[in-house]
Amino acid sequence: MEERKRMVFSSIGRTLLAIGLAFLVSASFAFAAGANPLEALYWLVISPFTKQRDIIMVLVEAQPLILVGLGVLLAFRARYFNLGSEGQLWAGAVAATWVGVRFGSLPSLVLVPSCLLVGAIAGGGCSLVCRMLRSRIDEAISTLLLNRVIFYLVLTLLSGPWQDPSSKWPRSVEIALSARLPIVAERTGLTWGIPLAIFLAIVFFWVLRNTTWGLETKALGMNAVAAKQAGIDERRLITQVALVSGAMAGLAGAIEVCGKWYRLVAELASNYGLMGVIATSLGNFDPLGTILGSSLLASMKIGAPRMQWWTQTPAALGGVMQALVLLGTVAFQEWRFSRRRNNQEEKDA
């Protein structure tokens, strides 16, 4: 237990070091822009936590990151490098939009869960395609390629058969009113999506720690050869991991449609795939840490335009800090995220 505690503290420390370094470098960039670095950083990361309305905005923005992050977490821990969250998210959004428009006559109690479920299935399906190609091409590459394919197909839909005839922008028609996610509190934009995301994070936390399945996925990632000799069915497990990982991203996409935009729009995914990866990295690939990491990233996204408004520092500094935070955690943490060599079995799985 002492060892465990030490390791947790050590990894939290490393993340804090990475964040601190990112802050320092960003501050100097802000200084180079002629702004007061403390003021710039205040607007960038602190201001979104000062008012209740802003905190809700942060949660809303963090919600897809949490879901995507959970999926990434599960996959990476099993050394299945699903980088296709963005495409899977889009697939989920497309599926949810289709159901939300087509079956609008159904009551909310049926329609909303259906949309979310269909979204998760769509995301999982995309992930499954890449999983099945694993013997031919690394899933990291195939998922990245599929991302682009799906994105352009979505654009094709939005500018073509699915385009809202009343608008010249690439966006779809609205989903039915009964497909909308119910709001938690009036006039806040806070839907049940956020509690769902947090609930799932807790589920992940418990499953990964306390169930055979969860522990097996981790064992697979740590030493696939030993895991197989211990009787773990690698092929089946990787397929399941790929499915769940994609489903989480698909669910995130469905929630974006049913809870935020109420239609399919070109700005929907907004780099959530990569942001989810960063959120998980910040959280040291732990579900609860992912919630914190997502909140931090969300606050950067919300704070960036404010920073630009108040201190004339270009909003892109928010993106720079996100990149620095990712690179920092990559540099300082001692994750074992590489392929093992001479592992012919892994290639066949």
Partner 1 sequence: MLEIMESVLRMVTPLVLAGLGEMIIEKAGILNLGIEGTMVFGAFIGFLVSYFTGWPLLGLLLSATSGMLLAFLMGWLVVSQGRSQHLSGLGVTLLATELAAYTYRLALGTPEGPPKIITFSRFPLPGVFHQYGLTYLAFGLVILTHWVLKNTAFGLRLRVAGENPESLDLSGVNVQRIRYTALVIGGGLMGAGGAFWSLASPGYYLETIVAGRGWVCLCLVIFSNWKPLGILGGALLFVLFEALQIRVKALGIPVQQEAFNALPFLATLLTLVFLKRRRAPAALLKPFPEKD
* Contact footprint for partner 1 (CB under 8 A): 29, 32-33, 81, 83, 133, 136-138, 140-142, 144-146, 148-149, 151-153, 155-156, 159-160, 274, 277, 281, 314, 316-317, 319-320, 322-324, 326-327, 330-331, 335-341
In SS3 terms, 68-91 reads as: HHHHHHHHHHCCCCCCCHHHHHHH
- If the CB atoms of residues 99 and 162 are measured against partner 1, the closer one turns out to be 162
- If the CB atoms of residues 62 and 317 are measured against partner 1, the closer one turns out to be 317
State in angstroms the smallest separation of the CB of 147 from partner 1. Answer: 8
State in angstroms the smallest separation of the CB of 52 from partner 1. Answer: 30
State in angstroms the smallest separation of the CB of 266 from partner 1. Answer: 10
Backbone torsions φ then ψ of 171, nearest 5 degrees: -155, 160
Q: Yes or no: say if 255 and 181 are a contact pair by the CB < 8 Å rule.
A: yes
183, β-bridge pairs: 191
- If the CB atoms of residues 139 and 216 are measured against partner 1, the closer one turns out to be 139
- If the CB atoms of residues 127 and 322 are measured against partner 1, the closer one turns out to be 322
State in angstroms the smallest separation of the CB of 337 from partner 1. Answer: 4
- If the CB atoms of residues 52 and 342 are measured against partner 1, the closer one turns out to be 342
- If the CB atoms of residues 179 and 242 are measured against partner 1, the closer one turns out to be 242
Q: Yes or no: say if 250 and 116 are a contact pair by the CB < 8 Å rule.
A: no
Residues 120-155 as b/e (b if ≥16 CB within 10 A, e otherwise) read bbbbbbbbbebbebbeeeebeebbbbbbeebeeebe
Q: Say which residues have a Cβ less than 8 Å from residue 63's Cβ, sequence separation at least 6.
A: 193, 194, 197, 252, 255, 294
DSSP designation for 171: B
Token pair recorded at residue 39: 């003021």
State in angstroms the smallest separation of the CB of 273 from partner 1. Answer: 9
State in angstroms the smallest separation of the CB of 140 from partner 1. Answer: 5
Q: Yes or no: say if 177 and 46 are a contact pair by the CB < 8 Å rule.
A: no
- If the CB atoms of residues 212 and 338 are measured against partner 1, the closer one turns out to be 338
Place of tokens 């991991």: 241
**How far is Cα 194 from Cα 346, in angstroms, rounded to an integer?**
37
State in angstroms the smallest separation of the CB of 41 from partner 1. Answer: 15
Residue among 138, 144, 142 nearest 338 (CA): 138
**How far is Cα 186 from Cα 56, in angstroms, rounded to an integer?**
12
DSSP designation for 47: G
